[in-house]
Structure 1
Amino acid sequence: MLKEGIRILADSSENSVSAISINTGTEIPRNGNYMQGALIPKNTFRSLSDAEKTIVFTNQNNAAGMNYNEIIKIIQLPENLQNMIRSIHLNSLESYEQLEDTVTHEDFKILAKDLMEYVGSKSLTPEIYNLGIQIEPGNEYTTTKQSDEYVGLHIDSWDRQPVSERKNSRNRICFNIGKGSRYLYFINIPVTDLCSEFPEDNIDHIVTDFLMSNPDYPVLRIQIKPFEGYIAPTEYIIHDGSTAGSNFKDVTFTVRSNFY
């Protein structure tokens, strides 16, 4: 049963609500090149019930009183930046070789400057870490890899902070600048709450212990359409990406900071 936890802040339109779905828990991968011990969401996603919506969503007024890492936001790139991306065909990239050619153009340099100014306007600090543009195959049920193996649901550790400090770790913005939809999977329980049940400081062990002990705890899935992005505390929650069902290359732009 879904518990209170991390909330999603999105507009109240029917399109935003329908972009969120929920499943019936996690399982061991049946196929694919996964790391030993990896766990993934069951492919049993459905629409949220009214009761689940009250747990999942928050509004702007309530969000104002919450820590920036207690919220996932769905945002959209401004139209002028969308047009610039289309004009240099950044959303049509098929390879890193094409990207190397594109970044030499003057229009790309203008876009990069404007894009960093835009994400900077959403940061609580001047320190922004640009992780750049990634190009990956489409139609992957999960996306995060390590040494050519999928890792499954996980918690990031870029800042390498202890669990007790992770509420204040950097979060990330990840924009979908490709042509197909992609998804963010996440479990809405913050890692500090997981540790009340599994009191240790090894993040990988915490993830595995929780998922193995709670295989029926639901995973939430957010659809991120082209030119949309998410702000999410990926060092504070169990999560992964997905491009399931998309035949396009997965083209993303990612930055880390303290975004709100």
Structure 2
Amino acid sequence: MRLKQGIRLYSLLPEGYDAVFINSGTSSYKEQTLAKVDFQDWHFTPLFEEDAYLPKKDWRKMNTQESAIIRAKTDRKDHNTIFTGYIPAELQYIIRRLGLEQSKNREEVMQKFRDHPETVQQLNTKMQEFLSTVADNKPFHFHCIAANLPNLEMVACDITRLRENFTVPEKRYIGLHNDGTQFMTLHTTHKAGNRITINLGNQSRIFYFVNLTMIQALNMLSEKIDVKEQQVNIYNVSAHFFKHFPDYPVIKFIQQPYQFYIAPTDNCFHDGSTLGNTALDINMVYFGTFRC
């Protein structure tokens, strides 16, 4: 299936769009050979939600037509564009001083922050300065510091339904998804702003996205099914979409250490991945209305 005009990518990286790839679509996790985690004391094959869909692994470079559809030139707004670039060199230097690359789990990551209060203060100051340059004159706020195991097909999971004191292998990953909440509908996700995610680790990570807004996905589904009768909503739209459009392409780009991406994650199907990595994946996330 050919790409439609939709969400685009604007790269500020020296490699430009050479780190961007496209595939032939998605399939249920049950139809794929899943990567295993083999890190520290963890040796397991991750579990997935029953309706999880993953990108197919037939990645290739975009052709001229596809590249023209994906590349953002003008009209770059928070709801219709994904941006990627490097954080300032001064910020990179401060982060290196924390020694996060030596961490084996999230607790060790957080301990590094607790052990270096002066460095963290400098980090906060310089991060606020940097974010102010891309915040579109609107407020933003810190969301989290995430630490993901290496060699995960997908990183997003819902732990709210797990038992208390669950173990890591019990996590169920949700596959390609949107981040919409009960405060949104498929017609209002474009008003939700976006997020900036910064790679603090020492290895690259992967960001997958489908270049369709939620309204576009809903409109496509309405040509296949009765969306009202099927009660398609913010929570189940991804399962419906990938069931009926398994051949719609996914876009992948490689996010190197100290690179950021800005994405409207409420308004598009997406996920991160640490496939092929051997070290802990560490990233910092802020919510706001960012653009470059």
TM-score, normalised via structure 1 length: 0.92
Runs of 4 or more consecutive aligned structure 1 residues displaced over 4 Å after TM superposition: none
Residue 232 to residue 259, structure 1, CA distance change in 2 (3 Å): same
- AA aligned to 1:27 is S
How far does the alpha carbon of each residue in 1:186-225 deviate from its partner, in whole angstroms, 9 at most, with x for none? 1101101112233455123221111111111110001100
Q: Report the counterpart of residue 18 of structure 1 in structure 2.
A: 18
Which whole-Å CA distance do the structure 2 matches of 1:182 and 1:193 have between them? 28
Q: Which structure has the highest helix share of the two?
A: 1
Please tell me whether residue 48 in structure 1 is matched to residue 71 in structure 2: no
Contact 2:12 2:83 in 1 (8 A): no
Correspondence list, 1:38-117, <5 A: 38-59=52-73, 62=74, 65-104=75-114, 105=116, 106-117=118-129
- AA aligned to 2:208 is Y
SS in 2 for 1:229: strand
Q: Report the counterpart of residue 271 of structure 2 in structure 1.
A: 240
Structure number with greater Rg is: 2
- AA aligned to 2:242 is L
TM-aligned CA deviation for residue 107 of structure 1: 1.1
Which whole-Å CA distance do the structure 2 matches of 1:11 and 1:112 have between them? 23
Please tell me whether residue 127 in structure 1 is matched to residue 150 in structure 2: no
TM-score, normalised via structure 2 length: 0.82
Q: Report the counterpart of residue 191 of structure 2 in structure 1.
A: 168
- AA aligned to 2:65 is A
For the aligned residues, what is the CA RMSD? 1.7
Which range moved further: 158-167 or 219-228? 158-167
Contact 1:159 1:170 in 2 (8 A): no
TM-aligned CA deviation for residue 12 of structure 1: 7.7
Contact 2:7 2:82 in 1 (8 A): yes
Contact 1:124 1:258 in 2 (8 A): yes
5+ residue gaps, structure 2? 35-45, 160-170, 222-226
TM-aligned CA deviation for residue 103 of structure 1: 2.0
TM-aligned CA deviation for residue 89 of structure 1: 0.9
Residue 25 to residue 152, structure 1, CA distance change in 2 (3 Å): same
Which range moved further: 209-218 or 26-35? 26-35
Q: Report the counterpart of residue 200 of structure 2 in structure 1.
A: 177
- AA aligned to 1:35 is E
Contact 1:38 1:152 in 2 (8 A): yes
Which whole-Å CA distance do the structure 1 matches of 2:64 and 2:201 have between them? 32
5+ residue gaps, structure 1? none
SS in 2 for 1:103: helix
Which whole-Å CA distance do the structure 1 matches of 2:220 and 2:247 have between them? 16
Paired positions, count: 255
Which whole-Å CA distance do the structure 2 matches of 1:97 and 1:238 have between them? 29
Q: Report the counterpart of residue 27 of structure 1 in structure 2.
A: 27
Contact 2:98 2:113 in 1 (8 A): no
1:141 equivalent among 150, 153, 170: 153
